[in-house]
């Protein structure tokens, strides 16, 4: 059995183990039995306070709890809205938007399962209250969803690369992608689950006790085997560092291609080509922002994970318990913040997404009124355009007739518009 020191500084090593139970991307400790003995001997210097339960500083507790609640509400609402808007609008059933739905589903899993357990663990004072199942499930699920997000971002980025930089080659691929997005998403989840299975073998749910003999249940992730350390380094390198550089190269090529197309269209009056280019730029801008925020928000917890694996006891001692809790709170908040920001990015950057969201929530009567107005406006514009393209050799009387007809068409258009408003 472990022996936990019951004191204010109470074992930075044990505090780190408390992190490991539910930390994002499973932060691990490398604390051997020798390290645990050192922590106990070190903190037993203050014997007069040896029976005080270790406490998280109040300002960290209040700040982290507030952020957790806000991020949970925003993330849950936003990601459910993304799924609903995309599935409800047929215009949004492109491969890109369907992959974004997969990102939202992964974020929802983290918000619904992992964030509440992290909040409970924050207030539990080194005691694991959620049983053996969640002790093993939470680290696995956090890593699995992170890996799923990485693979989804890579897939949609390659899809955009072929669509923009190699359009001829992408025609057949694009048809396959649109009809088999569900298959691709299933493959992504299967690969992520298979790679993350070892995370279920690392956590250990066991009995422990405080120094005064109070029995507790703990969830530990002590790294003692070389394969565990190697596995963590493998996941960090091949599913965080390598994808980052791949995506940097992909979006650099895409940005250069769009800049070249924009330069070629300069001075031309092809409205359809300009609209298509502007739409492409919006999609790429949205994806670049998503990629940037993903790696920005995941970087702190990844760095903390590696630091905990390789940190020496002197470095832990120098950090102190309060410093460690600040580091932990910052890394966790950044990780969960990512789950709440993607829906905001979609609506801020993408005009199509904003219009689809408005279309879902506006009333049917308003939608029909807008469609009828748009139809009358197109008819009137087409009438003016067709008549203005007639030969300049027409006589003055013909021109006057055109003006009269245009005026009557405009009057008819306004009457119809008024009639639509009344209905």
**What residue segments make up the domains of the chain, in order of their start?**
2-360, 364-422
Question: Would you say 221 and 30 are in contact if contact means Cβ atoms under 8 Å apart?
Answer: no
- Quick check: 57 pLDDT over 60? yes
Which among 107, 106, 105, 143 has a CA at the least distance from the CA of 22?
143
58 vs 12 pLDDT, higher one = 58
Q: What integer pLDDT is reported at residue 259 of this predicted model? A: 84
- Quick check: 291 pLDDT over 50? yes
Number of other CB atoms surrounding residue 43 within 10 Å? 25
First to last CA, the chain: 78
Cβ burial of 80 (10 Å; 0-12, 13-18, 19+) is: middle
Give residue-wise pLDDT tens across range 341-369: 999 998 888 888 888 888 777 755 565 55
Q: What integer pLDDT is reported at residue 166 of this predicted model? A: 77
Q: What integer pLDDT is reported at residue 377 of this predicted model? A: 58
294 vs 417 pLDDT, higher one = 294
Q: What confidence tier does 395 reach under pLDDT thresholds 50, 70, 90? A: very low
30 vs 53 pLDDT, higher one = 53
Mean pLDDT of 199-216: 85
Q: What confidence tier does 307 reach under pLDDT thresholds 50, 70, 90? A: confident
Mean pLDDT of 201-218: 84
Q: What integer pLDDT is reported at residue 220 of this predicted model? A: 83
Alpha helices in 127-222 (DSSP H): 131-165, 167-179, 181-196
Most confident option among 113-127, 214-228, 281-295? 281-295
Q: What confidence tier does 107 reach under pLDDT thresholds 50, 70, 90? A: very high
- Quick check: 378 pLDDT over 60? no
- Quick check: 267 pLDDT over 70? no
Q: Which fold has domain 2-360?
A: Rhopdopsin 7-helix transmembrane proteins (1.20.1070)
Question: Would you say 342 and 82 are in contact if contact means Cβ atoms under 8 Å apart?
Answer: yes
Q: What integer pLDDT is reported at residue 212 of this predicted model? A: 74
- Quick check: 225 pLDDT over 90? no
Give residue-wise pLDDT tens across range 36-50: 333 333 333 333 333
Q: What confidence tier does 221 reach under pLDDT thresholds 50, 70, 90? A: confident
Q: What integer pLDDT is reported at residue 294 of this predicted model? A: 94
CB proximity list for 240: less than 8 A, separation 6 or greater:
150, 295, 298, 302
- Quick check: 64 pLDDT over 80? yes
Q: What integer pLDDT is reported at residue 376 of this predicted model? A: 54
Q: What integer pLDDT is reported at residue 52 of this predicted model? A: 47
Interatomic CA distance for residues 251 and 278, integer angstroms: 16
Give residue-wise pLDDT tens across range 159-201: 888 888 877 665 555 555 666 888 999 999 999 999 999 999 9
Rounded to 5 degrees, what are φ and ψ at 420?
Answer: -65, -45
Q: What is the dihedral of CA 191, 196, 200, 203, to 10 degrees?
A: -170
Q: What confidence tier does 53 reach under pLDDT thresholds 50, 70, 90? A: low
- Percent of the chain clearing pLDDT 90 (strictly above): 30
Q: What integer pLDDT is reported at residue 45 of this predicted model? A: 34
Q: What integer pLDDT is reported at residue 368 of this predicted model? A: 56
> Which of 27-31, 224-228, 245-249, 281-285 bottoms out in mean pLDDT, i.e. has the lowest?
27-31
Q: What integer pLDDT is reported at residue 96 of this predicted model? A: 86
> Which of 231-240, 359-368, 373-382, 413-422 bottoms out in mean pLDDT, i.e. has the lowest?
413-422
> Which of 163-172, 238-247, 248-257, 389-398 bottoms out in mean pLDDT, i.e. has the lowest?
389-398
Q: What integer pLDDT is reported at residue 364 of this predicted model? A: 53
Give residue-wise pLDDT tens across range 73-92: 999 999 999 999 998 888 88
Q: What integer pLDDT is reported at residue 385 of this predicted model? A: 54
* Average model confidence (pLDDT) across the chain: 75
Q: What integer pLDDT is reported at residue 77 of this predicted model? A: 94
- Exposure letters 284-293 (e unless 16+ CB within 10 A, then b): bbbbbbbbeb
């Amino acid at each position: 059995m472990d022996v936990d020191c019951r004191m204010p500084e109470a074992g930075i090593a044990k505090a780190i183990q408390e992190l490991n139970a539910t930390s994002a991307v499973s932060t691990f400790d490398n604390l051997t039995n020798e390290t645990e003995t050192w922590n106990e001997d070190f903190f037993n210097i203050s014997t007069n306070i040896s029976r005080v339960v270790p406490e998280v500083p109040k300002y960290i507790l209040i700040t982290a709890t507030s952020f957790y609640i806000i991020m949970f509400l925003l993330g849950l609402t936003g990601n459910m809205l993304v799924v609903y808007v995309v599935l409800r609008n047929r215009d949004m059933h492109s491969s890109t938007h369907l992959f974004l739905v997969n990102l939202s589903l992964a974020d929802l899993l983290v918000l619904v399962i992992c964030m509440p357990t992290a909040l409970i663990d924050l207030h539990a004072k080194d005691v694991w209250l959620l049983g053996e199942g969640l002790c093993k499930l939470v680290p696995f699920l956090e890593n699995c969803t992170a890996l799923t997000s990485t693979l989804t971002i890579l897939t949609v980025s390659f899809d955009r690369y072929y669509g923009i930089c190699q359009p001829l080659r992408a025609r057949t691929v694009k048809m396959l992608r649109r009809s088999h997005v569900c298959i691709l998403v299933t493959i992504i989840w299967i690969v992520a689950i298979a790679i993350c299975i070892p995370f279920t073998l690392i956590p250990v749910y066991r009995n422990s006790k405080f120094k005064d003999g109070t029995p507790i249940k703990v969830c530990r992730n002590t790294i003692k085997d070389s394969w565990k350390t190697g596995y963590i380094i493998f996941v960090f390198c091949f599913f965080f560092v390598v994808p980052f550089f791949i995506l940097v190269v992909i979006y650099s090529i895409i940005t250069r291609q769009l800049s070249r197309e924009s330069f070629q269209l300069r001075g031309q009056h092809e409205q359809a080509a300009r609209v298509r280019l502007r739409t492409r730029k919006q999609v790429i801008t949205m994806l670049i922002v998503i990629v940037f925020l993903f790696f920005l928000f995941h970087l702190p917890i990844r760095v903390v994970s590696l630091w905990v694996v390789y940190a020496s006891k002197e470095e832990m001692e120098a950090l102190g318990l309060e410093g460690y809790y600040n580091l932990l709170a910052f890394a966790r908040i950044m990780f969960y913040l990512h789950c709440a920001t993607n829906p905001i990015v979609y609506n801020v950057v993408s005009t199509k997404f904003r219009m689809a969201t408005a279309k879902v929530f506006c009333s049917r009567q308003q939608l029909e009124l807008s469609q009828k107005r748009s139809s009358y406006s197109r008819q009137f514009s087409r009438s003016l355009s067709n008549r203005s393209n007639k030969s300049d050799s027409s006589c003055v009387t013909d021109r006057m007739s055109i003006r009269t007809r245009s005026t009557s068409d405009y009057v008819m258009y306004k009457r119809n518009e008024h009639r639509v408003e009344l209905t």
